[in-house]
């Protein structure tokens, strides 16, 4: 069973690439972020032609998340329970669903903008709400994972130059402590390091030739509980999908589970 996460940076702009990638990669479940469309604009019909259904939480602005699955889609929850909201609004940053034997969340953690900004406080509060919301699933026997754009680099090794990011968000002690608290519910980072190449970043800015120079960050993560982690057979960042005209500024992160997606009891045992 192949599960992936991808900040697609506008699903309408990237639709041809998305459809081609789903076919070529053989992905069973894809968590996407930054759909930048309304639920009505989401390309459900095009995905159905490939055998996928989708759970979508989107309102047409800069956020939006979805779970796309060809192995079932049940127990869908739109949004984050206890979401603190920002400036009086609840943003579409989370959706969860059960896909075959696995329960997944697709999350787009707030950026934070800059240290001391209200959005930074919102980011930390959002992490607290996420940690509380997933604690039962994380500690339970059913395979469970949170996939998405966390907007935090877990360690200094996850950025191309720690000095470059000094005084900025994504690398602060408070953000990394929030990640540690999330892992403390029973989750672990299931993408091993090193991978098949050095410095497996997942995001590169469009500016200043960041991708050709490999000036990136690893901020797209897969955190799974013990049952999920034990089933991981392989994991990789699909750097090829970051190349070429019209690419997202993020690359897909792919995890292969050694489990039959048609048998819901395989992992929970």
pLDDT, tens digit, for every residue of 148-173? 999 999 999 999 999 999 999 999 99
What is the secondary structure of 165-232 as a DSSP string?
A: GTTSTTS-HHHHHHHHHHHTTT-EE-S-SS-SSSS---EE-SSTTTTTTT-EE--EEEEE-HHHHHHE
Q: What is the pLDDT of residue 263?
A: 63
For residue 184, pLDDT over 90 is answered with: yes
Q: What is the pLDDT of residue 269?
A: 46
For residues 89-119, one letter each, b for 16 or more C-beta atoms within 10 angstroms of the residue's C-beta and e for the rest, the string is eebbbbbbbbbbbbbbbbbbbbbbeeeeeeb
pLDDT in tens, 15-70: 999 999 999 999 999 999 999 999 999 999 999 999 999 999 999 888 999 999 99
Angle between helix axes 173-183 and 118-139 (nearest 10 degrees) is: 20
Please tell me which residue, 62 or 203, carries the higher pLDDT value. Answer: 203
What percent of the chain stands above pLDDT 90? 91
Nearest residue to 137 via CA among 104, 181, 107: 104
Alpha helices in 29-172 (DSSP H): 44-49, 118-139
Q: Find out whether 217 and 250 touch, Cβ atoms under 8 Å.
A: no
Domains in the chain: boundaries:
2-257
Q: Which fold has domain 2-257?
A: Deoxyribonuclease I; Chain A (3.60.10)
CA atoms within 13 A on the CB side of 241: 29
CA atoms within 13 A on the CB side of 167: 2
For residue 134, pLDDT over 50 is answered with: yes
Q: How far apart are the first and last CA of the chain?
A: 17
For residue 199, pLDDT over 70 is answered with: no
The token duo for 118 is 């209200």
Q: Is the pTM above the cut of 0.85? A: yes
Average pLDDT, the chain: 94
For residue 144, pLDDT over 90 is answered with: yes
Please tell me which residue, 266 or 214, carries the higher pLDDT value. Answer: 214
What percent of the chain stands above pLDDT 70? 94
Q: What is the mean pLDDT of residues 175-202?
A: 86
């Amino acid at each position: 069973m192949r599960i992936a996460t991808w900040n697609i940076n506008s699903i309408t702009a990237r639709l041809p690439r998305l459809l081609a990638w789903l076919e070529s990669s053989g992905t069973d479940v894809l968590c996407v972020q930054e759909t930048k469309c309304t639920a009505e604009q989401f390309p459900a019909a095009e995905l159905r032609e490939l055998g996928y259904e989708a759970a979508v939480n989107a309102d047409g602005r800069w956020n939006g998340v979805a779970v796309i699955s060809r192995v079932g889609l049940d127990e869908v929850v739109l949004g984050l329970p206890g979401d603190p909201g920002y400036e009086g609004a609840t943003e579409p940053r989370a959706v969860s669903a059960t896909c075959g034997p696995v329960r997944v969340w697709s999350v787009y953690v707030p950026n934070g903008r800059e240290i001391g900004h209200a959005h930074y406080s919102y980011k930390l509060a959002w992490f607290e709400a996420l940690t509380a919301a997933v604690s039962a699933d994380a500690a339970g026997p059913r395979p469970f994972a949170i996939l998405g754009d966390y907007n935090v680099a877990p360690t200094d090794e996850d950025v191309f130059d720690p000095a470059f990011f000094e005084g900025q968000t994504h690398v602060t002690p408070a953000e990394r402590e929030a990640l540690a608290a999330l892992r403390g519910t029973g989750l672990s980072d299931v993408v091993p390091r090193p991978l098949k190449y050095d410095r497996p970043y997942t995001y590169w800015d469009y500016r200043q030739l960041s991708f050709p120079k490999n000036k990136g960050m690893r901020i797209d993560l897969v955190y799974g509980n013990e049952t999920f982690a034990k089933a991981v057979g392989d994991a990789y960042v699909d750097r090829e999908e970051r190349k070429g005209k019209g690419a997202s500024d993020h690359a897909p992160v792919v995890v292969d589970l050694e489990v039959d997606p048609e048998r819901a009891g395989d992992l929970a045992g």
